[in-house]
Amino acid sequence: MDQVIIQTAKEISTRIIRQAGQIAREKFDDLADVQTKDEFGDVVTEVDHLAEAVILKEIQAAFPDHRIHSEEAGDIGEDSDWLWLIDPLDGTNNFAIGLPVFSVSITLMYRKDPVLGVVYEPLTDRMFVSVTGEGTYCNDKPVHVRSSSNFLRGNIGWIQGHKVQNDPAAVKLRQFLDLKFKRMMRLWAPTLQWCMLAKGDLDGIILYNSEGDDLYSGILMVKEAGGVVMDFDGHPFDGMSEEPYLIACHPEHREQLLQLVSEGMRS
């Protein structure tokens, strides 16, 4: 794995993600066009396309041999050990209804493992950056997942894929966990929930079958901030999965959260 590539990718990503975020900030609450993408209610806006174009142009120029998968443009380039995952507007549904909860996400994968994650929240001007082996930073300050003395009085995040909808098993688990914790958050902007966990503002995350361009930057953020990410069987999660079911939290709460999820799936 070439560290020069990763550091160059970091420099470029942190610059262009601000440019993409500026587009979202300027267009927020002033959209001219919103279109429905699929039967599950997902939408796309002009900002998705404008921000994506800025990001793709720079990455393709700097790394012409790398493969890219972007939320709207799809697959670009030939097979490569290096894969970029781009979500130019994570939280598009929020953005479209004037809810200020959205971000831009850029991830660089090497052989299916995230090595660089950059997430930018335009309206708060918060940038989260994580490089494998180097920790996670918010606006250049290191952040860490937190341990709670009263875990069940904490806040957890729920993330589910668009296609899950009201799947009975998902509804059952969600309701079970909702009753166990002080608060369950569903932001419909997954990268922000992962960053909140990495920063110590959330106590855990349950992800139910939600794979996409917004996933792997967040996973790297949490791991590099000292958290654990595992599947519903308790196995450490590495690589990529087309249908991930994940649990993330501080290592001290690993067994308790795993047990709760198991109990909720059986109830």
Residue pLDDT, tens place only, 99-158: 999 999 999 999 999 999 999 999 999 999 999 999 999 999 999 999 999 999 999 999
Per-residue confidence band for 267, with pLDDT thresholds at 50, 70 and 90: confident
Contacting residues for 59 by C-beta, under 8 A, at least 6 apart: 12, 16, 66, 68, 84, 86
Domain count, the chain: 2
Is the pLDDT score of 39 beyond 90?
A: no
Are residues 204 and 107 part of one domain?
A: no
Distance between CA 197 and CA 4 in Å, rounded?
29
From 124, 142, 160, the end of a domain falls on 142
Are residues 122 and 27 part of one domain?
A: yes
Distance between CA 267 and CA 252 in Å, rounded?
25
Is the pLDDT score of 38 beyond 70?
A: no
State mean pLDDT over 201-208. Answer: 98
Is the pLDDT score of 28 beyond 60?
A: yes
Contacting residues for 153 by C-beta, under 8 A, at least 6 apart: 181, 182
Candidates 187, 207, 203; CA nearest to 145 is 203
Are residues 127 and 163 part of one domain?
A: no
> Can you give the pLDDT at residue 78?
87
Are residues 118 and 20 part of one domain?
A: yes
Per-residue confidence band for 72, with pLDDT thresholds at 50, 70 and 90: confident
Domain containing residue 254 = 151-266
Are residues 160 and 179 part of one domain?
A: yes
253 φ, ψ (degrees, to nearest 5): -105, 10
Are residues 208 and 91 part of one domain?
A: no
222 φ, ψ (degrees, to nearest 5): -70, -45
Are residues 101 and 210 part of one domain?
A: no
Are residues 261 and 169 part of one domain?
A: yes
State mean pLDDT over 229-238. Answer: 97
Handedness of CA 56, 191, 197, 234 (dihedral sign): negative
Candidates 229, 227, 217, 219; CA nearest to 258 is 229
DSSP label of 237: P
Are residues 225 and 184 part of one domain?
A: yes
Looking up residue 255, the CATH number of its domain turns out to be 3.40.190.80
Are residues 163 and 136 part of one domain?
A: no
Are residues 25 and 73 part of one domain?
A: yes
Of residues 213 and 29, the one with the higher pLDDT is 213
DSSP-derived 3-state class of residue 209: coil
From 142, 168, 203, the end of a domain falls on 142
**Share above pLDDT 90 across residues of the chain, in percent, rounded to a whole number:** 83
Q: Is residue 83 within 8 Å of residue 194, measured between CB atoms?
A: no
> Can you give the pLDDT at residue 193?
98
Distance between CA 245 and CA 73 in Å, rounded?
26
> Can you give the pLDDT at residue 31?
64
Query: Amino acid identity of 28?
Result: F
State mean pLDDT over 13-40. Answer: 81
Q: Is residue 26 within 8 Å of residue 89, measured between CB atoms?
A: no
Looking up residue 131, the CATH number of its domain turns out to be 3.30.540.10
* Angstrom distances, CA of residue 102 to CA of 44, 188, 208: 13, 9, 20
Are residues 163 and 57 part of one domain?
A: no
From 142, 169, 188, the end of a domain falls on 142
